[in-house]
Amino acid sequence: MRKNVGLNIIAAIVFAFLLIPLFIIVITSFGTNSTIQFPIKGFTFEWYSKVFSNASFMDSFVLSLEVAFIGTLLAVLVGVPAAYSLARHGVFGRNWVKSFFLSPTIVPGLVVGYALYQFIVIQFQFPIIQGLLLGHFLICLPYVIRVVGSTIEQLDFSIEEVSWTLGCTKLQAFIKIVLPNITSGIFAAFMLAFINSFNNIPVSQFLSGPGVTMLPTNLMNYIEYNYDPSVSALSVILMLGTIVLMFIIEKTLGLASIS
């Protein structure tokens, strides 16, 4: 690459801009002072143990994992057949149907959560947790449709036709031929949907109640009244989680598959 000073400077500033704020959080999580300060005085792991001994954080962490997992799983179960149908069959109004399946991305997350809360929790008296699961299913579905859909579109249709000719039923062909060929796409969609569901705040904002609070919402409420390094410590733990997931994705699919 030939040198271009202006370009290098802008890129350096942007990467610094992206990383330094997160780096500062890491440093402040080790400070001994009871409010966050930078540079820190002293060094302690106390805030990390505070996070792990905080039952409210731990409960909401488990809930977030569960909701993200179930929401994503439901989106995969519903989305993969739909993506297959949209890619393979001459469905009437195909583009319209596809836009419909992607529509949860157009509706702002806060509105999705608010509408679900009003409709199923207030009007139909569903428990909040069910609303939460449905909301997270809705945000996961477009990822599955998009990622799995493009994987299926890249798959050579003729190998499926061959298996039909050789006596496979459509279901057998799907399970034995199509599914093994799109597992990486499904896995990529799963990871992407899971991460986004786990990190999502707007959808869960209305759908929380006693004992039903997602981790990001819980952290956000905590920040509004507290300014101590345990927030930094929890943030660092979440960042470590992100690094682990990125590492897994890089080793299995390559990060390019989700970007």
Site for another protein in 63-82 (CB under 8 A): 77-79, 81-82
To another protein, the closest distance from the beta carbon of 210 in angstroms equals 15
Burial track 103-112 (b if 16+ CB lie within 10 A, e otherwise) = ebeeeebeeb
Q: How far apart are the first and last CA of the chain?
A: 24
Q: What whole-number distance in Å separates Cα of residue 60 and Cα of residue 219?
A: 9
Q: Does 33 bind another protein (CB under 8 A)?
A: no
User: Counting beta carbons within 10 angstroms of the beta carbon of residue 259, is it exposed (0 to 12), middle (13 to 18) or buried (19 or more)?
Assistant: exposed
Q: Which of 73, 168, 201, 253 binds another protein (CB under 8 A)?
A: 201
Q: Which of 40, 73, 115, 168 binds another protein (CB under 8 A)?
A: 115
Q: Does 103 bind another protein (CB under 8 A)?
A: yes
Q: Does 141 bind another protein (CB under 8 A)?
A: yes
Decide whether 151 or 235 has the Cβ nearer to another protein. 235
Segment lying near another protein (by CB under 8 A), choices 44-52, 150-158, 160-168, 245-253: 245-253
Q: Confirm if 169 and 127 have CB atoms less than 8 A apart.
A: no
Q: Does 47 bind another protein (CB under 8 A)?
A: no
Q: Does 40 bind another protein (CB under 8 A)?
A: no
Q: What whole-number distance in Å separates Cα of residue 16 and Cα of residue 11?
A: 9
Containing 205, the helix (H) or strand (E) segment is: helix 202-206
Preceding amide of 39 cis, omega within 30: yes
To another protein, the closest distance from the beta carbon of 130 in angstroms equals 10
Q: What whole-number distance in Å separates Cα of residue 218 and Cα of residue 225?
A: 11
| DSSP calls for 117-141 | IIIIIIIS---HHHHHHHHHHHHHH
Q: Which amino acid is at 156?
A: D
To another protein, the closest distance from the beta carbon of 176 in angstroms equals 17
Q: Does 54 bind another protein (CB under 8 A)?
A: no
Q: Does 32 bind another protein (CB under 8 A)?
A: no
Decide whether 54 or 199 has the Cβ nearer to another protein. 199
Q: Which of 67, 129, 138, 188 binds another protein (CB under 8 A)?
A: 138
- In the window 156-185, what residues touch another protein (CB under 8 A)? 170
Q: Which of 101, 143, 187, 190 binds another protein (CB under 8 A)?
A: 101
CA–chain centroid gap for 58, Å, is 19
To another protein, the closest distance from the beta carbon of 137 in angstroms equals 7
